[in-house]
């Protein structure tokens, strides 16, 4: 049981690290290419996600 909880915690940490890395790549892309459709779409998606998380608090 303790081993399962430890494995779950490690998986969550790994997932968080992967999300942080993905976020960094998105930010780098947007700053390097701010006028592309892809960058504008990413900005819009991030804004919508932020709004949803703020409403959920």
Question: What is the rounded distance in angstroms from the CA atom of residue 57 to the CA atom of residue 49?
Answer: 13
Q: Where are the domains of the chain?
A: 33-57
Q: Tell me the residue length of the chain.
A: 57
- pLDDT value at 5 more than 80: no
The CA–CA distances, whole Å, from 56 to 9, 22, 46, 49 equal 24, 23, 15, 11
User: Distance from CA of residue 36 to its chain's centroid?
Assistant: 20
Q: What is the pLDDT of residue 57?
A: 66
| pLDDT value at residue 50 | 84
Whole-model pTM: value is 0.55
């Amino acid at each position: 049981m303790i081993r399962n909880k430890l494995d779950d915690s490690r998986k969550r940490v790994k997932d968080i690290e992967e999300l942080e890395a993905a976020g960094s790549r998105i930010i780098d892309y947007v700053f390097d290419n701010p006028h592309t459709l892809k960058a504008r779409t990413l900005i819009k998606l991030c804004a919508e996600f932020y709004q949803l998380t703020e409403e959920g608090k």
